[in-house]
A = this chain, B = another copy of it.
Amino acid sequence: MIRYPGGSSPKPKNEKVVNKPRVLSSANRGMNLEEDINISNQYYIDKDIAVITKRPTPINVVKVDYSRGAIITNAYFEKQSTTDYNGVYRGKYLDFEAKSTKLRTSFPLSNITLHQIQHLKRVLKHGGIAFFVIRFEAFGETFLLDASFVIEAFKGEKRKSIPYHDVKRNGHLIKESYIPRLFYLEVIDSVYF
């Protein structure tokens, strides 16, 4: 069980982080989106708010040495054919992929696979909530963007990325704090419920 510091106040939208008396600066936090989401998910589980978990990275195991107690000695990483996270919140199915970029002008679609797009389309079709969590590291901003926008952008043959301003306009800025790192369920509340 993680101990959560009490009274952590989320920073207001678009506020610049200057001389804030916090343990973790926004700059530090921004370094690892996956860790931020995992910590937020653990908070949501411990506080009995939602059950959202990370799918383990799929690994193809080639060889296992049982003489040393099942040590994997030969294996390789496989591409995730679905998304990184899914779970249940307020009775609804949630499914999302998290990506961060160092770029300032756009969110590149190059490391999103067709399988992931197809998976998210299906989730939407069957009544789930599907979205992307997109962090622009240069600005320390993290957005929640409905999967439909990314699915649409993925269609255009020449469109290899989504401009920053489109993410900002169609997405929703996620408030950040110490714990949970990312208040993304607040956005879910206001956008989907």
Known: A48-B122, A51-B126, A126-B51. A88 touches B95 (CB 8 A): yes
Bin chain A's interface residue count: 35 or more
CB distance from A146 to the nearest CB of B (A): 16
Cβ contact of A123, chosen from B51, B71, B77, B119, cutoff 8 A: B51
Say yes or no: A77 contacts B88, CB within 8 Å.
no
Q: How many copies does the complex hold?
A: 2
Interface string of A89-118 (1 = CB under 8 A from B): 111110100000000000000000000000
Say yes or no: B88 contacts A127, CB within 8 Å.
yes
Known: A56-B57, A56-B58, A75-B59. A91 touches B128 (CB 8 A): yes
Give bound CA distance, A50 to B123, whole Å.
Answer: 8
A91: nearest chain-B partner, CB-CB:
B127
Cβ of A55 within 8 Å of any chain B Cβ, yes or no, is: yes
A83: nearest chain-B partner, CB-CB:
B53
Contact partners of A58 in chain B: CB under 8 A: 56
Cβ of A72 within 8 Å of any chain B Cβ, yes or no, is: yes
A126-156 at interface with B (beta carbon < 8 Å): 126-128
Cβ contact of A73, chosen from B53, B70, B73, cutoff 8 A: B73
Report which A residues bind B (CB closer than 8 A).
Answer: 45, 48, 50-51, 53, 55-59, 61, 70-77, 82, 86-93, 95, 119, 122-123, 125-128
